[in-house]
Amino acid sequence: MTKKHSIIAAAIVTLALIVAISYWQLRQFADSPLAIGQETLFTLPAGTGRVALEAKLEQDNIIKPAIWFGALLKMEPELAKFKAGTYRLEKGMTVRQMLALLASGKEAQFPLRFVEGTRLQEWLAALRAAPYIKHTLTDDQFTTLAQALKLEKTDQLEGWFYPDTYLYTANTTDVALLKRAQQKMATLVDDIWQSKAADLPYKTPNELVTMASIIEKETAVNDERSKVASVFINRLRLGMRLQTDPTVIYGMGEKYNGNLTRKDLETPSEYNTYIISGLPPGPIAMPGKASLDAAAHPLKTNYLYFVADGKGGHTFTTNLASHNRAVQAYRQVLKEKNEQ
C-alpha cells in the first residue's frame, strides 16, 4: 500500500470513528433523562420552531445545553412535528420521550370536580380558581351565563349542570366546561323524564330537577333518597307544605349565616316552603343521578315526616305524634353527644 493510500485509509477510519462516536453521543443525549426532579408542566406556544423550542427547554431547565438537539430532530424527523400545548413531563422521562410526547399532541389534562348538592355560584367560583382555564365570562351573573350558553331563560341554570369530575386541557374556556356539564344534565334529565313513574305531581322536567335538588340537600344516604322523595310526593298529593329547611336557606341567599331561626322560617320568600304551597320556583342545588332517579321513582310509602336520627341517617314516620317522638329522640342523642 502506498503512503497516499495509507493516509486515505487512516482518514476514512478516523472519519468512521468520529461518526460512530457522534452517533453514540447523539443516542446518549436522546436517551438521557430530562433535567427535572419532579413532574413539570411545560407550555409550548404556537408557532415555536426547532431553535426556539431548544432555547425554551434550556431556559426552563428541562434539558441541559448540548449540541445534539438539532441533530436529533434531523435524524428522527418524526420527533420534529411537535404541537403547541401544555404537556405533563414526568421525572425520569428521556429527551426522546419528551419530544415524542410533544409530537403526539397529548396535552396534560386537569381535573375539575363539581360536587353534588352545590350551587351554581359555587361552581363559578371553582372555575375561577381552577388552573389553566381561559376565563371568558365577564361576571358571575346568571344573565351573563345564560347569554354565553345561548339559553333563553336564567331558570335553566341552577340545578341544570351535571355534577361530575371533568377533565380539560390548558386554555379550555369556562363556558366550554359549563356547556359540557349542562348538555350532560339535559340528556340525563330527558332520559329520566321519559322513564319516570306514572302519576307523579310534576308538570315539567324542571319540577323533577327541583325535587331532586331538595332530595340531594336533605340526605347523602343513597338508601334514603327514595324514602325522602316519597315524603315530599305524599305531601304534594295531600296539599301539605313541604316544609324543608334547604329551600328556606336557598331563598335567604347571602343572609344565611349557618344558623336557621324560627324567624327565618316565618319570613316570606318564593323559596320558603314553610309558607308557599307546592314546589319552589326552581332547583336549589345541582342534584346527582341518584337523587334524580329517586325523584322520578319514589318509594311507595305512607311517610309524611322525617327527622335526623343523630347517627347519619333519618327516622321516617307517618303521623305527627310519631314524628314528635322522633324529634325528641334526636334531641336526646344530641344532648348525650354534647355531654361526652
Report pLDDT for 30: 87
Report pLDDT for 126: 94
Long-range contacts of 58-62 (CB under 8 A, 24+ apart): 61/35, 61/36, 62/34, 62/35, 62/36, 62/89, 62/98
Report pLDDT for 153: 79
For 243, residues 6+ apart whose C-beta sits below 8 A from its C-beta are: 235, 273, 274
Report pLDDT for 5: 54
Report pLDDT for 279: 97
Counting as low any pLDDT under 50, the low residues of the chain are none
Question: What CA–CA distance (Å, rounded) separates 127 from 221?
Answer: 28
Report pLDDT for 13: 53
pLDDT digits (tens, 9 = 90+) for 13-45: 555 555 555 565 778 888 889 999 999 999 999
Report pLDDT for 195: 96
Report pLDDT for 20: 52
Report pLDDT for 2: 65
Whole-model pTM: value is 0.86
